[in-house]
Structures are given as C-alpha cells and as structure tokens.
Structure 1
C-alpha cells in the first residue's frame, strides 16, 4: 500500500516490484528493478528515503527516516527479513542479514556485511568491506566490533550517544523522560492520521 505523508508521495520506478502487503509512506524513491516483499515497511517520517537500483527489501524489514536522519540504500544491496534501518546511509552491494539493526546516523560503506542479529550502533561508520559477525555490535568511528557479552566495553566505546536527545529531542536527565518522550513522539506519529492513499 502506498501512502502520501506530509504532502509527499512515494516515487517508484516502473520496473520495481512492490508486494501488495508492503507499506510505503511519504518521501520515498525506489529505483529500477527493486523488490520490496510482503510485510516490508518503508516510511519517511519527515526525511527522505532513497533506494538505488536492484535493492531487495525482504519480508517484514523496516526502513525509517526521520527529519534528522535520511535513509539511503545503495544499488545491489539486500535488506534481510526482519532487519531494520533507522536514519542511516547504506552503500552499494551491502548485505544486512535477518534481524540486523542499523541505527540513526550510521554509515555503512560498500560491500559490507552485517550478519544475523548484528547491530550497527548510532553514528557508527563501517569502512568498505567490513563484516559484523553474527550477533556482534559495531560502535564508533573508527568502528570497533564487540561480542554482545562485552556490554561495559560497548558502553565505553560510545560515550556521547544521547539517544533520547538526538532522536526525540528530550534530555536524558528529564525526571519524567519516558512521559516526555512518548508524548512528543506520539504527537509526531499522529501526523499519519492525515495520510492519504497514493
């Protein structure tokens, strides 16, 4: 299903194939010969999303852009089943395996692999050809790779994430952080009430 959101309509190349149960919303451009499979969601929440040619977005994957962080997926990349990309730039010929997660402000260069259930943290930068092993976490610039059992080292490697501030505009030290966060974010998401079928 295609939706106009915030006055922007998806633009889909006539050779792209979009499954009838996929959802594509807002300022989204999908290039030639792309495949977007069942249950995938591609939603531009105030920032644009572009898919180069021959990109494959598998079942139930999520691509989400924000006003602060656009999404770009380079040509010949594959976004695996249940993978998610939030406000990140992905180079050409990249493989995001099932369950991979890429967070706001991350940049993944050409021919990288982010394997099953691996995480690329906010603002991490993966140089060309980097492989993030199954379940591992990529952090920082220059990037460091950690096994998931190294939580303290992961935290030390990413000192100024400020996820609530960067993504939601709420200071982490706010006493009612989750109240402020959900009210602001909910208000932003409520703009979907005015979406129109495209």
Structure 2
C-alpha cells in the first residue's frame, strides 16, 4: 500500500491504480486495484474506488464527490462480459452516490445519494436525479432526466440545464486546484 497525501492506494491481484498526475485525489480516499483516473479529474474526500474484481475507468475532468462508492462485478458464467465501471469525460457524480458496474457517458450527471447499478447506462448530457435508483440494465437516453426509486424518465433536459451541468464541471475542475494547494500546505507535501 502507498499513500499519496493521505490517500490509500492499494494494489491487488497484480493491478495498481493508475492516476494521472493532474488528477486531484483528496485525503481519506481509498483507491484499490485496476483503476484508471484521467487528466484533470477529481476524487473528493472519503471516496472508495474498489476495482478488486474487475475494472474502473474514469475519463478526464470528471469529479466524484465526497463519500461516493464506486465498484464493479467480474465476468462469470452466463455473464462473460462482467460489469466494469466506465465513466466518461466531464461527468459529475454527486456526494454519497453509489455507482456500480455501469456506464456513464461523457457529461453525464449522477445526483446526490443516487445509485446506478450493474449494466445501467447514463447517456451523454443525461441526469440521474438526487436519491434516484437506476436499476440493473436500464438505459437513460442522452439529454434526459430520470428520477425515483426505481428511476423512470421524467423529461428531456433543456439547453439551460445542460449548460448548468457544464458549469458544474468547470467549477469542480477549478475548485480541485484550490484544494490540491490547500492539501499541499496542510500536509506539507508535494
């Protein structure tokens, strides 16, 4: 196990997390196994990314907010493809979300406390509302809002709503730089 400014990075089964040098990983996070995190992405305080049984791939400028849990499922008989977790670029994942073995396309949004389950798909510019549960195999079309438990389509998102999500991505990218500096100063490390 290695520690990067209060982050637990744990290799397992011969797989070590690969984190781009420009990614911000907040103290208190635990990142395990076959995880890749792209340039400019941010993983906020006390998140767990556990790729001990399959893969987690996170694109560029994506943020995973405080307390979220990310996991995947392995291939097995009857499900040879398994359920890797694939997250695109410019994705917003809200606080305390649980994202498991699904696909989130570029600019997708997962609200506070929402759950996305195995083989679910969140389309580009689509929003899973706070507290919603996207059940296994459900596919959200691009530019749609889904809400509820289980989540169901509610409406098509407006250009203004999509612009708001993009502003959120820009905010988190900038805020991550400030937090990286603050962590550096607080912990006295580079």
Q: Secondary structure at the match of 1:21?
A: coil
1:35 aligns with 2:48: no
Indicate the residue corresponding to 2:140 in structure 1.
126
TM-score, normalising length from structure 2?
A: 0.71
| Structure 1 residues 85-104: aligned runs within 5 Å | 85-104=99-118
Match of 2:63 among 39, 56, 63: 56
Question: Shift of residue 26 of structure 1?
Answer: 0.3
- The CA deviation string for residues 91-142 of structure 1, in whole angstroms up to 9 with x for no partner, is 0111111011000111111011011101110010111111013x3423xxxx
1:6 aligns with 2:37: no
Question: Shift of residue 50 of structure 1?
Answer: 0.5
Distance 2:98 2:38 in 1: 19
Bigger strand fraction: 2
- The CA deviation string for residues 142-177 of structure 1, in whole angstroms up to 9 with x for no partner, is xx548xxxxxxxxxxxxxxxxxxxxxxxxxxxxxxx
Q: Secondary structure at the match of 1:50?
A: strand
| Structure 1 residues 177-192: aligned runs within 5 Å | none
Indicate the residue corresponding to 2:150 in structure 1.
137
Distance 2:116 2:64 in 1: 14
Question: Shift of residue 9 of structure 1?
Answer: 0.3
1:24 aligns with 2:37: no
1:73 aligns with 2:87: yes
Runs of 4 or more off by more than 2 Å in structure 1? 135-138
Indicate the residue corresponding to 1:113 in structure 2.
127
For the 8 Å contact 2:105–2:124, the answer to whether it is kept is yes
Distance 1:46 1:129 in 2: 32
User: 1:66 and 1:45, CA in 2 relative to 1: closer, same or farther beyond 3 A?
Assistant: farther
Q: Which has the larger radius of gyration?
A: 1
Q: Report how many residues are paired.
A: 140
For the 8 Å contact 2:116–2:134, the answer to whether it is kept is yes
Q: Secondary structure at the match of 1:66?
A: coil
For the 8 Å contact 1:136–1:145, the answer to whether it is kept is no
